[in-house]
Amino acid sequence: MNDIKIRNLGLQDYEPVWHAMQEFTNSRGADTPDEIWFTEHRPVFTLGVNASRDHLLAPGDIPVVQIDRGGQVTYHGPGQLMIYPLIDLRRSGMGVRSLVTALEQSVVELAADFGIAAASRADAPGVYVDGVKLASVGLRIRRGASFHGMALNVDVDLEPFSRINPCGFTDLEVTTLARLGAEGDLEIVQRQLLPHFLKQMGCADVATSIASGDLPQLRAG
Protein backbone atom coordinates (compact mmCIF):
# COMPACT_ATOMS: atom_id res chain seq x y z
CA MET A 1 0.00 0.00 0.00
CA ASN A 2 1.24 3.53 -0.77
CA ASP A 3 1.70 6.16 1.89
CA ILE A 4 -1.51 7.31 3.58
CA LYS A 5 -2.41 10.96 4.05
CA ILE A 6 -4.22 11.92 7.23
CA ARG A 7 -6.53 14.92 6.93
CA ASN A 8 -7.90 16.58 10.10
CA LEU A 9 -10.89 18.64 8.96
CA GLY A 10 -12.31 19.87 12.27
CA LEU A 11 -15.99 20.85 12.47
CA GLN A 12 -17.64 20.79 9.03
CA ASP A 13 -21.07 20.91 7.43
CA TYR A 14 -21.96 17.44 6.19
CA GLU A 15 -22.72 18.00 2.50
CA PRO A 16 -19.45 19.68 1.41
CA VAL A 17 -17.47 16.81 2.95
CA TRP A 18 -19.72 14.21 1.33
CA HIS A 19 -19.35 15.83 -2.10
CA ALA A 20 -15.58 16.15 -1.62
CA MET A 21 -15.40 12.41 -0.88
CA GLN A 22 -17.34 11.67 -4.04
CA GLU A 23 -15.12 13.93 -6.12
CA PHE A 24 -11.93 12.52 -4.61
CA THR A 25 -13.08 8.98 -5.41
CA ASN A 26 -14.22 9.84 -8.94
CA SER A 27 -11.00 11.66 -9.83
CA ARG A 28 -8.41 9.44 -8.17
CA GLY A 29 -5.94 7.53 -10.33
CA ALA A 30 -3.96 4.34 -9.91
CA ASP A 31 -1.21 6.17 -8.00
CA THR A 32 -3.36 8.51 -5.90
CA PRO A 33 -2.36 8.07 -2.25
CA ASP A 34 -5.05 6.81 0.06
CA GLU A 35 -6.37 9.26 2.64
CA ILE A 36 -8.13 9.02 5.99
CA TRP A 37 -10.27 12.02 6.89
CA PHE A 38 -11.19 12.84 10.48
CA THR A 39 -13.96 15.34 11.11
CA GLU A 40 -17.07 16.13 13.11
CA HIS A 41 -20.26 17.54 11.64
CA ARG A 42 -22.81 20.14 12.51
CA PRO A 43 -26.17 18.48 13.33
CA VAL A 44 -27.63 16.43 10.46
CA PHE A 45 -29.62 13.27 9.87
CA THR A 46 -28.43 11.15 6.96
CA LEU A 47 -30.41 8.47 5.13
CA GLY A 48 -28.71 5.64 3.25
CA VAL A 49 -29.56 4.66 -0.32
CA ASN A 50 -32.41 2.33 0.58
CA ALA A 51 -33.31 3.87 3.94
CA SER A 52 -36.97 4.08 4.90
CA ARG A 53 -38.23 7.49 5.94
CA ASP A 54 -40.50 5.67 8.37
CA HIS A 55 -37.47 5.57 10.68
CA LEU A 56 -37.27 9.37 10.66
CA LEU A 57 -39.67 10.09 13.53
CA ALA A 58 -39.39 13.80 14.39
CA PRO A 59 -36.37 15.52 12.82
CA GLY A 60 -37.53 18.99 13.87
CA ASP A 61 -35.05 21.67 12.86
CA ILE A 62 -32.19 19.27 12.10
CA PRO A 63 -31.56 18.93 8.33
CA VAL A 64 -32.14 15.59 6.61
CA VAL A 65 -29.86 14.52 3.75
CA GLN A 66 -30.38 11.49 1.50
CA ILE A 67 -26.94 10.13 0.64
CA ASP A 68 -25.25 7.29 -1.24
CA ARG A 69 -23.94 5.04 1.54
CA GLY A 70 -25.47 1.82 2.73
CA GLY A 71 -27.55 1.57 5.89
CA GLN A 72 -30.57 3.33 7.30
CA VAL A 73 -30.92 6.65 9.15
CA THR A 74 -28.39 8.01 11.61
CA TYR A 75 -27.45 11.28 13.28
CA HIS A 76 -24.18 13.19 13.09
CA GLY A 77 -23.29 16.10 15.33
CA PRO A 78 -20.55 17.82 17.30
CA GLY A 79 -18.77 15.46 19.67
CA GLN A 80 -19.00 12.56 17.24
CA LEU A 81 -15.76 11.55 15.52
CA MET A 82 -16.18 10.74 11.84
CA ILE A 83 -13.57 8.47 10.26
CA TYR A 84 -13.65 8.46 6.46
CA PRO A 85 -11.21 5.94 4.88
CA LEU A 86 -10.65 6.82 1.21
CA ILE A 87 -8.92 3.57 0.28
CA ASP A 88 -8.17 1.97 -3.09
CA LEU A 89 -9.38 -1.50 -2.11
CA ARG A 90 -8.22 -3.15 -5.33
CA ARG A 91 -4.70 -1.84 -4.87
CA SER A 92 -4.58 -2.70 -1.18
CA GLY A 93 -6.02 -6.18 -1.65
CA MET A 94 -8.69 -5.51 0.97
CA GLY A 95 -12.31 -6.53 0.60
CA VAL A 96 -15.28 -4.53 1.82
CA ARG A 97 -15.83 -6.91 4.72
CA SER A 98 -12.18 -6.55 5.71
CA LEU A 99 -12.48 -2.77 5.80
CA VAL A 100 -15.67 -2.90 7.89
CA THR A 101 -13.96 -5.29 10.29
CA ALA A 102 -10.90 -3.04 10.50
CA LEU A 103 -13.09 -0.06 11.40
CA GLU A 104 -15.05 -2.01 13.99
CA GLN A 105 -12.06 -3.70 15.59
CA SER A 106 -10.15 -0.43 15.86
CA VAL A 107 -12.94 0.87 18.09
CA VAL A 108 -13.06 -2.39 20.04
CA GLU A 109 -9.33 -2.00 20.74
CA LEU A 110 -9.71 1.70 21.57
CA ALA A 111 -12.49 0.89 24.05
CA ALA A 112 -10.28 -1.78 25.61
CA ASP A 113 -7.63 0.89 26.20
CA PHE A 114 -10.17 2.51 28.52
CA GLY A 115 -11.18 -0.76 30.17
CA ILE A 116 -14.44 -1.06 28.21
CA ALA A 117 -15.51 -4.38 26.72
CA ALA A 118 -16.94 -3.57 23.27
CA ALA A 119 -17.80 -5.91 20.40
CA SER A 120 -19.11 -5.99 16.84
CA ARG A 121 -22.25 -7.87 15.83
CA ALA A 122 -22.71 -10.23 12.90
CA ASP A 123 -26.32 -9.10 12.35
CA ALA A 124 -25.76 -5.33 12.46
CA PRO A 125 -22.58 -3.40 11.51
CA GLY A 126 -21.09 -1.23 14.23
CA VAL A 127 -19.64 -1.50 17.70
CA TYR A 128 -21.68 -2.20 20.83
CA VAL A 129 -21.20 -2.22 24.60
CA ASP A 130 -23.68 -4.55 26.31
CA GLY A 131 -25.97 -4.22 23.29
CA VAL A 132 -25.85 -0.40 23.27
CA LYS A 133 -24.41 1.18 20.13
CA LEU A 134 -21.16 3.12 20.40
CA ALA A 135 -20.16 3.40 16.72
CA SER A 136 -21.92 2.96 13.38
CA VAL A 137 -20.49 1.98 10.00
CA GLY A 138 -21.73 2.77 6.50
CA LEU A 139 -19.60 2.56 3.36
CA ARG A 140 -19.86 3.13 -0.35
CA ILE A 141 -17.53 1.51 -2.90
CA ARG A 142 -17.05 3.16 -6.29
CA ARG A 143 -14.41 2.34 -8.89
CA GLY A 144 -12.88 -0.11 -6.43
CA ALA A 145 -12.36 2.56 -3.76
CA SER A 146 -14.15 3.29 -0.48
CA PHE A 147 -15.69 6.42 0.96
CA HIS A 148 -18.03 7.26 3.83
CA GLY A 149 -16.97 5.29 6.90
CA MET A 150 -17.57 5.23 10.64
CA ALA A 151 -19.18 7.48 13.25
CA LEU A 152 -17.80 7.07 16.79
CA ASN A 153 -19.82 8.66 19.59
CA VAL A 154 -17.22 10.36 21.75
CA ASP A 155 -19.22 13.02 23.63
CA VAL A 156 -22.11 13.78 21.28
CA ASP A 157 -25.56 14.96 22.40
CA LEU A 158 -27.73 11.81 22.30
CA GLU A 159 -31.11 13.60 22.27
CA PRO A 160 -31.35 13.69 18.44
CA PHE A 161 -31.12 9.88 18.34
CA SER A 162 -34.52 9.83 20.07
CA ARG A 163 -35.98 11.52 16.98
CA ILE A 164 -35.13 8.52 14.76
CA ASN A 165 -34.96 4.75 14.82
CA PRO A 166 -31.15 4.59 14.77
CA CYS A 167 -29.92 2.40 11.93
CA GLY A 168 -33.51 1.23 11.42
CA PHE A 169 -33.96 -0.36 14.86
CA THR A 170 -36.91 0.75 16.97
CA ASP A 171 -35.40 -0.24 20.31
CA LEU A 172 -31.70 0.49 19.78
CA GLU A 173 -29.99 2.45 22.55
CA VAL A 174 -26.98 4.64 21.81
CA THR A 175 -24.10 5.63 24.07
CA THR A 176 -20.81 7.58 24.04
CA LEU A 177 -17.28 7.04 25.26
CA ALA A 178 -17.77 9.87 27.75
CA ARG A 179 -20.89 8.24 29.22
CA LEU A 180 -18.96 5.01 29.59
CA GLY A 181 -16.38 6.82 31.69
CA ALA A 182 -13.76 6.99 28.94
CA GLU A 183 -12.22 9.90 27.04
CA GLY A 184 -14.49 12.69 25.78
CA ASP A 185 -11.97 14.77 23.83
CA LEU A 186 -12.17 14.16 20.07
CA GLU A 187 -8.56 15.09 19.38
CA ILE A 188 -7.26 12.65 21.97
CA VAL A 189 -9.58 9.88 20.74
CA GLN A 190 -8.51 10.48 17.14
CA ARG A 191 -4.83 10.19 18.04
CA GLN A 192 -5.45 6.96 19.96
CA LEU A 193 -7.72 5.43 17.34
CA LEU A 194 -5.49 5.95 14.29
CA PRO A 195 -2.75 3.41 15.15
CA HIS A 196 -5.40 0.79 15.94
CA PHE A 197 -7.07 1.38 12.58
CA LEU A 198 -3.80 1.28 10.65
CA LYS A 199 -2.87 -1.97 12.38
CA GLN A 200 -6.24 -3.53 11.61
CA MET A 201 -5.79 -2.60 7.93
CA GLY A 202 -2.35 -4.22 7.93
CA CYS A 203 -0.73 -0.80 7.54
CA ALA A 204 1.05 -0.42 10.87
CA ASP A 205 4.34 0.10 9.02
CA VAL A 206 2.96 2.28 6.22
CA ALA A 207 4.19 5.87 6.27
CA THR A 208 1.58 8.47 7.10
CA SER A 209 1.65 12.20 6.48
CA ILE A 210 -0.57 15.00 7.73
CA ALA A 211 -2.28 16.74 4.83
CA SER A 212 -3.86 20.18 4.91
CA GLY A 213 -6.77 20.49 7.28
CA ASP A 214 -8.89 21.82 4.41
CA LEU A 215 -10.96 19.79 2.01
CA PRO A 216 -8.84 18.87 -1.03
CA GLN A 217 -9.19 21.18 -4.00
CA LEU A 218 -9.74 18.71 -6.82
CA ARG A 219 -10.96 20.96 -9.58
CA ALA A 220 -9.63 24.25 -10.83
CA GLY A 221 -11.92 27.23 -10.76
Which of 31, 39, 1 is CA-nearest to residue 198? 1
CB 140 within 8 A of CB 70: yes
Q: Is 167 a catalytic residue?
A: yes
SS3 168: helix
Choosing from 4, 44, 110, 167, the catalytic residue is 167
CB 160 within 8 A of CB 75: yes
Helix%, strand%, coil% for the chain, nearest 5: 30, 30, 40
* Residue 178, Cβ density class (10 Å: 0-12 exposed, 13-18 middle, ≥19 buried): middle
Given its phi and psi angles, is residue 127 left (phi above 0), alpha (psi -120 to 50 degrees) or beta?
Answer: beta
> What amino acid positions are annotated as catalytic residues?
167
